A and B are shown apart, each in its own frame.
Chain A
Amino acid sequence: MMPLDTNDDISDDALMVLFANGDGQAASVLAYRHTGRVLALALRMLGDQAEAEDVAQEALMRLWKIAPDWRQGEAKVSTWLYRVASNLCTDRLRKHSGKRATEDIDNVAEPQDDSPSIEADLIARERADALQAALQTLPTRQRKAVSLRFLQELANPEVAEIMEISVEAVESLLSRGKRGLAQALEAQRMELGLDT
């Protein structure tokens, strides 16, 4: 497929107007530009590929629907999508409360790929999986703040805007979230080759 996500010279706001006016390409550019990030956040929040994809699809669906009423310059499309996606994740976590919270770090899935590969790659994948499992042990708000700040690499004010809380509250959540992650991951350090 044509690499539409490379069309960086068109702003998201302009694409929203184009989409609302019936431009077929605008949706493709927006989708290829933002779906990956939304999916990543949803996957980190939910820890389930199928559910994360559903959230990404629903978040984009809401973006399409709001296009005619989109107010240029008021909010970034990425911020808006993160907020919608994170709220959808929170709703799903509430519905499935307890189910994922009880997931233990020992339940981290083994790598699917059994083919020989470089040890560093395996360790990196194990670390990513371990972090994913550790994230699931955090309270939802800490998980959301940590994911947005350290994995989606957003600035604290933007995290605050997405979560609709103060920057100070974000910093507090990040501090507690990192402590919780460190505790959850500490037991895995030797196994994952971090002390070698």
Chain B
Amino acid sequence: MAHSDKGPNEEMLDMFFDASKAQEPVPGSDLMARILADASQVQAGFKHATVATAATAPARVTENILTRIFAVMGGWAGASALTASICIGVLYGATAPDTVRSYLPTMSEQTAELDYSYLGLLDETVADLEG
């Protein structure tokens, strides 16, 4: 026990302490209302902080995604090269379709001849082996 210095007045003091504990003050409704009003006010500050974070969160996410894509492309140099490639592709697509189309018949005929000659050679080889 904490109080080892039991003296002649110990019992008397205990009676006073017991009496005081029995008269424990009860917080009045006015005090509790003030305390809870304080709590609401302080808590409202927390809510504002949360709302502010939530409001800025999408912008931050968008910004992060764009920044990351930009970095993956190699920064300004990569972005410039990609833009130039896209422009050249569009230019070719818009101005030179006839040039590309002129090669198509020749390519198809050559492919057909090659296919037939290859099969003929195969037939001869097989016949020789069997004969």
- B residues apposed to A, CB below 8 Å: 2-5, 7, 9-10, 12-13, 15-17, 19-29, 31-32, 34-36, 38-40, 42-43, 46-47, 50
Contacts and interface: CB of A to CB of B under 8 A. Distances in A.
A169 to B, nearest CB: 13
25 contacts: A20-B46, A24-B40, A24-B43, A27-B36, A35-B27, A35-B32, A36-B27, A49-B25, A56-B31, A60-B35, A60-B38, A64-B42, A64-B43, A65-B42, A125-B23, A128-B19, A151-B17, A151-B20, A170-B2, A171-B2, A174-B3, A178-B10, A185-B12, A185-B16, A194-B15
Nearest to B1: A156
Nearest to B12: A194
A155 interface: yes
B20 to A, nearest CB: 4
Interface in A141-186: 149-151, 153, 155-156, 170-171, 174-175, 178-179, 181-182, 185-186
Contacts of B46: 20-22, 67-68
Interface residues of A, number: 54
A31 B16 contact: no
By secondary structure, the A interface counts as helix
A20 B46 CA distance: 7
Interface string A41-82: 001100001001100110011001101100000000000000
